[in-house]
Chain A
Amino acid sequence: MTVTLLHRPGLARIRTARAPLQLLCLGFVALVVLAALLAPWLAPEDPNAVDLGNALAGPSAEHLLGVDASGRDTLSRLVTGARTSLLGPLGVVAFSTLAGVAIGVTAAWRGGWLDSVLSRSTELVFAFPGMLLAILIVSVYGEGLLAPVIALAIAYLPYVSRLTRSLVLAERTRPYVEAYQVQGHSGLQICLRHVIPGIAPVVLAQSTINFGYALIDLAGLSFLGLGVPALTPDWGRMVFDGQSAIQHGYPLSAILPCAAIVLTVVAFNVVGERWADQVARRDR
């Protein structure tokens, strides 16, 4: 007979103590997503409207968060920049999750030589730094969001496919999968209806965490001047543009996008981790 522990007072207390942080993060994620969705209506001014006379002005009633070196309103650029800054990682995560799950499930389910081929070739990507791959692709295809997104998606794919593969391998050995086989269901049906829904929460939680990393990587690429075209508002690009302003003693236009990046990444990681925790607890 096993005794299930229904209630662990010690841990429960820690969890409630941590809850405000999670709520805060969830709120922040919601805020950023809303800002990105409603940017055209929220931004007080055209993010690319240049007002050189006012360059590097501090916060004022007219420009709530000040103006950058080219005289563009920082708040408007931040809000509009949320779009590219979120859209990029979203593309990375969507592509890497879909392809990674497909490859991971196929490798684990079919096994044999197909598993070897798929696993080895994704591990090959592991051996190659993701940023380097992205820089390579961007330098071949030139500016634009698509090239770095695809590059990073490929770089992130092995993380998802490896996780998926190990999860499916574990799920596969469960007798219920055999039971469906005996019932006459095809492998594809069993995977789509039972195995993938079973592992989805764990994979999605991992993808949420990947989202944060992808955001940092893309911002880094923008900072290097790769990826996003020069005029498009983007947080990484804003940090790059604000560099010289910092040297002149006007840090605000660079620090704000930095803070936006850091907070968004932290918020996504916290939300993702919590999700993963909850999933793990439910499965127990």
Chain B
Amino acid sequence: MRKTVLEAVGLHRAYGGVQAVDQVSFTLAEGGALGIVGESGSGKTTTARIVVGLERADAGRVLVHGQDRTEHRRGRAHRLARARQVQMVFQDPYLSLDPRTTVEAVLRETLRLHFPGADHPRRIAELLDQVGLGPREAGALPRQLSGGQRQRVAIARALAVEPAVLVLDEAVAALDVSVQAQILNLLADIREQTGIGYLFITHDLGVVRCVTEDVIVMRQGRIVESGRTAEVLAAPQHPYTRLLLDSVPRPGWDPKAIAVARRSM
């Protein structure tokens, strides 16, 4: 059994009277990849934001290497330490980069904050190489890059911090199919090389199958099913998981039956 890098225990979050996240617990093994699957309103994004620290949980804890990161202690040292625990890649690469900052400047800024005194130009070249970008893209502004290239920059920026866990919130959903495949392969390579743990938030079961080892399925703030990705997708136990699987279009697909099944749930 591998060591646990990330552990969420009994997360709760309510907005008004709605339980957005309800009793959510999971663990992520070191160097592993865990998928959180669900539709809009399932609480998967809120869960991710709690893990990253962009949102506070009403109850529950998030532990990285056994250290609680939910108690927000002020101060630069704590802030940087928290950043080195978990990094995030956002859904829309068109919005998650400052339009006025070049690729190189983005990375340099992060390196200066976390590793002052290190050899930044060498590390920047290394990071760009790792995500498949060259020196030509280094001087470019985000608007001069394609969607796929921007998402590579966002990944490089997250890796620059050398975090233990990378949260990917629908990180390939906004990309074209052919570019999506490139990014998914890139993510698989990076995990192999660095041993970083992935928490992969997505609505796409195909993507989950492709990049994760374990999966949890969320619905209305709760976990309805969890297990090894291959097993859950091959033999879903919960009717909601089955509905999600049936909803993936393919030849001979019966949308009417799905619509009926959805209404009956």
Contacts and interface: CB of A to CB of B under 8 A. Distances in A.
Decide whether A and B assemble into one complex.
yes
B110 interface: yes
A263 B73 CA distance: 57
Interface residues of A, number: 16
Interface residues of B, number: 29
A5 to B, nearest CB: 16
B113 interface: yes
A209 B188 CA distance: 54
A174 B157 contact: no
Interface stretch (A53-61, A155-163, A175-183): A175-183
A175 B100 contact: no
A179 B90 CA distance: 8
A194 interface: yes
Contacts, number: 55
Interface string B99-143: 111000000011001100000000000000000000000000000
B109 A176 contact: no
Contact of A176 (B53, B87, B97): B97
B contact face: mostly helix, strand, loop, or mixed: mixed
A193 B109 contact: yes
B20 to A, nearest CB: 18
B161 interface: yes
Given A182-B54, A183-B113, A198 B87 contact: no
- Which 3 A-B pairs have CB atoms at the shortest separation, nearest pair first? A184-B83, A175-B96, A175-B95
Interface of B: 52-54, 76, 79-80, 82-84, 86-88, 90-92, 95-101, 109-110, 113-114, 154, 157, 161
Given A178-B90, A179-B90, A179-B97, 7 more contacts: A176-B95, A179-B96, A182-B53, A182-B88, A183-B87, A184-B114, A198-B99
Interface of A: 174-176, 178-186, 193-194, 197-198
